[in-house]
Chains A and B, each alone.
Chain A
Amino acid sequence: MDVFSGSFKHYPGECKKVKGARHGSEDMTWTHDGLVFITTGLGIPDVEKHLLATGTHGEIQLFNFKDPGAGVINLKITHRKEFDIVKMRPHGITLLEDRVKGEHILYVINHLETEDRELVEKFRFSPSTRQLTHLKTIELDSSFFFNNIVAFADDQFYITNFAYMPYKGVLYHALINLFPIKLGSLHFYNGTKSVAVTESHATPNGVALSPDKRFVYMAASMEQTLYVYKTYKSNAQLSLVQKIYLGVKGDNLNLTPQGDALLLAVHPVFYKMVFHLLWALSPECISPSSVLRIPLGSDGLAVESDITELFYDYGELISGSSVAAAYNNQLLIGSVANSLVHCQA
Chain B
Amino acid sequence: MLSQALLVASVAIACYAVYQFSNTLGLNGNYYNHRPGICRRVAGVEHGSEDIQVMSDGKAFITSGYGTSSILKYLKKHNVKGRILLFDFKDPSAGAVELEMQTGQGFDENKFLPHGLSVLEDKERGEHLVYVISHPHGLPDLVEKFRFSPLSKQLIHLRSIPLGGNLGITNDLALVAEDQFYITIMAVFHFLPLLAIVETFLPLRTGSVFFYNGTEMQKIIPSLNNPNGVFLSPDHSLLYVNSFLDKTLQVYRLQPLTNSAELLQTVQLFGRGDNVQLTQAGDALLIGSHPKFLLFLEHYLALTPADVNSPSSVVRLPLDEEYLVREEDMTEMFYDHGDLISGSSCAAIFDGQMLIGSVMDSLVHCELFVQAKR
| Residue in B22, B270, B331 whose beta carbon sits within 8 Å of that of A10 in the complex | B331
A9 interface residue, CB < 8 Å from B?
yes
Which residue of A is nearest B335, CB measured?
A: A309
Does B34 lie within 8 Å of A7, measured CB to CB?
A: no
Chain A residues in 8 Å Cβ range of B27: 4
Chain B residues in 8 Å Cβ range of A312: 332
Q: How far is the CB of A268 from chain B (nearest CB, A)?
A: 8
Q: Which positions 186-242 of chain A face chain B at CB distance < 8 Å? A: none
A265 interface residue, CB < 8 Å from B?
no
B315 interface residue, CB < 8 Å from A?
yes
| Residue in B30, B33, B313, B333 whose beta carbon sits within 8 Å of that of A308 in the complex | B33
Which residue of B is nearest A314, CB measured?
A: B328
With A6-B29, A345-B369 in contact, do A310 and B34 touch (Cβ < 8 Å)? yes
A5 interface residue, CB < 8 Å from B?
yes
Chain B positions 315 through 333: 1 when the CB is less than 8 Å from some CB of chain A, otherwise 0: 1000000000000001111
B370 interface residue, CB < 8 Å from A?
yes
Chain A residues in 8 Å Cβ range of B16: none
Which residue of B is nearest A224, CB measured?
A: B30
Does A4 lie within 8 Å of B330, measured CB to CB?
A: no
Q: Which positions 18-57 of chain B face chain A at CB distance < 8 Å? A: 19, 22-23, 27-35
Q: Which positions 3-17 of chain A face chain B at CB distance < 8 Å? A: 4-11, 13
| Residue in A6, A310, A345 whose beta carbon sits within 8 Å of that of B270 in the complex | A6
A20 interface residue, CB < 8 Å from B?
no
A248 interface residue, CB < 8 Å from B?
yes
Chain A residues in 8 Å Cβ range of B19: 4
Chain A residues in 8 Å Cβ range of B30: 5, 246-248, 268
Q: Which positions 244-289 of chain A face chain B at CB distance < 8 Å? A: 246-248, 268
A307 interface residue, CB < 8 Å from B?
yes
Chain B residues in 8 Å Cβ range of A4: 19, 22-23, 27-29
| Total number of residue pairs linking A and B with CB closer than 8 Å | 52
Does B29 lie within 8 Å of A5, measured CB to CB?
A: yes
Q: How many residues of A contact B (CB 8 A)?
A: 22
Chain A positions 282 through 325: 1 when the CB is less than 8 Å from some CB of chain B, otherwise 0: 00000000001000000000000111111010000000000000
Chain A residues in 8 Å Cβ range of B22: 4
Which residue of B is nearest A291, CB measured?
A: B32
Q: How far is the CB of B271 from chain A (nearest CB, A)?
A: 9
Q: How far is the CA of A52 from the CA of B315 in the complex (A)?
A: 45
Q: How far is the CA of A9 from the CA of B269 in the complex (A)?
A: 12
With A8-B270, A9-B332 in contact, do A307 and B33 touch (Cβ < 8 Å)? yes
Chain A residues in 8 Å Cβ range of B370: 13
Chain A residues in 8 Å Cβ range of B333: 10
Does B369 lie within 8 Å of A309, measured CB to CB?
A: no
Does A307 lie within 8 Å of B331, measured CB to CB?
A: no
Identify the interface centre among A6, A305, A345: most chain B CB within 10 Å of its CB. Answer: A6
Which residue of B is nearest A8, CB measured?
A: B332
Does A307 lie within 8 Å of B270, measured CB to CB?
A: no
Chain A positions 1 through 38: 1 when the CB is less than 8 Å from some CB of chain B, otherwise 0: 00011111111010000000000000000000000000
Does A308 lie within 8 Å of B29, measured CB to CB?
A: no
Q: How far is the CA of A184 from the CA of B19 in the complex (A)?
A: 33
Q: How far is the CB of A294 from chain B (nearest CB, A)?
A: 10
With A4-B19, A4-B22, A4-B23 in contact, do A9 and B31 touch (Cβ < 8 Å)? no
Identify the interface centre among B27, B28, B30, B33: most chain A CB within 10 Å of its CB. Answer: B30
Does B28 lie within 8 Å of A5, measured CB to CB?
A: yes
Chain A residues in 8 Å Cβ range of B315: 8
Does B330 lie within 8 Å of A8, measured CB to CB?
A: yes
Q: Which positions 303-345 of chain B face chain A at CB distance < 8 Å? A: 313, 315, 330-333, 335, 339
Which residue of A is nearest B268, CB measured?
A: A6
Q: How far is the CA of A220 from the CA of B28 in the complex (A)?
A: 21
Q: How far is the CB of B50 from chain A (nearest CB, A)?
A: 22
Does B369 lie within 8 Å of A7, measured CB to CB?
A: no
Does A292 lie within 8 Å of B332, measured CB to CB?
A: no
Which of A's residues lie within 8 Å of B, judged by CB?
4-11, 13, 246-248, 268, 292, 305-310, 312, 345
Which of B's residues lie within 8 Å of A, judged by CB?
19, 22-23, 27-35, 270, 313, 315, 330-333, 335, 339, 369-370
